[in-house]
Structure 1
Amino acid sequence: MSDELSIIVSEQSNPLDGAAFAAGPGPMLVMASAGDCARFSLRTAKKNLAKATEAFGQVIPPQIGEMSSRAVKTALCLGPDEWLLLAPESERESITARFAKQSEQATHSLVDVSHRSVGIDISGPGAALVLNAGCPLDLTALPVGGCTRTILDKAEIILMKPGKEHYRLEVVRSFADFVWNFLSSAGREFETESG
């Protein structure tokens, strides 16, 4: 047996990098990989949201199920003291540094979870129908600017509704291909109906 130490460096890659799908006339459905971004899990008390908003550079909503999005940053309230923050990868270090400076003033936990999930954008008049092929929620009840944890077939997802016919979902990287294939398969129904 050798006394040599082996170091294996693994680079995370987005399994959906460059993926795109469209179906039906119009098209009825458009899907695309949302691309990589910085993702943070923030845990803090609501009394600290003003400081957290300052550190993130974007309003962090106080109510569960609310999402705030401006320019290239998004904040989702997922629980009584839990938020998911999305930002450009180029801002990862500066966001982390700003939160670190505030740690004594506003107790919090900020964890970089960028490699945990991937995003999928799904839009068009058929987006809700395709999602409802595997999601038990009444998506008409989800307001624009809303978000929730749910399931899609067998995969846990975080579902956001940035526009009337626009959804974005975050799925754990290991389920990305499964979710993409499920949505693509459901979306092919529009091709059958129009053909």
Structure 2
Amino acid sequence: MEKKIICIPGQRLCRLDPSYTLGKGTYKRQEYIFSSLAGIVNIDKRENISVIEVLSKDQTIVPAPGNIVTAMITTLNQDMCKCLITSVSGHELNETYRGSIRKQDVRTKEIDKIEMLQCFRPGDIILAKILPMTEAHTFKLTTAENELGVVIACSEYGHPMIPLSWTEMQCTKTGTVECRKVAKIVQENFKGSF
């Protein structure tokens, strides 16, 4: 009888080399394969390569580098903002995870001109990508791609906002315009509607 290996999210499974590749429930960090789920390690041998995957009944999902996540901005200062990650690739999480976006990870151009208050506000819902891990307790995020940024926002008066461009959103009640780093998908959904 084959012995089953049980793992937890974040557990290092093996070194990444040409004979191993990533499967479901895993992610790569540095030169190792890690588990993103709690479950049983399965090695699926195909031709000259073994696919390392984690099989889980309840599919407990944990954010991993490269994942697109939905998060809510909680606090910000001139150098960074903090947020709570609520879903990974469209799958709602059982618990939230802490994340942060540094000024240099907001966008790719004119980084020296970025003002965090012109990009995000507390309460904004954003799409972001998880960067490679550097700290154990906080996920570093980026919104530097066009598809990433604010997807839902309320004005300072508490009313929903709609995008005007990739840098501006407008209050639906007062017409007030506020600056944001708007996700491209949101702009496309509202194109031609105002």
Which has the bigger relative contact order, CA under 8 A and spacing at least 6?
1
TM-score (norm 1): 0.29
Judging by fraction of residues, say which structure has more helix: 1
TM-score by length of 2: 0.29
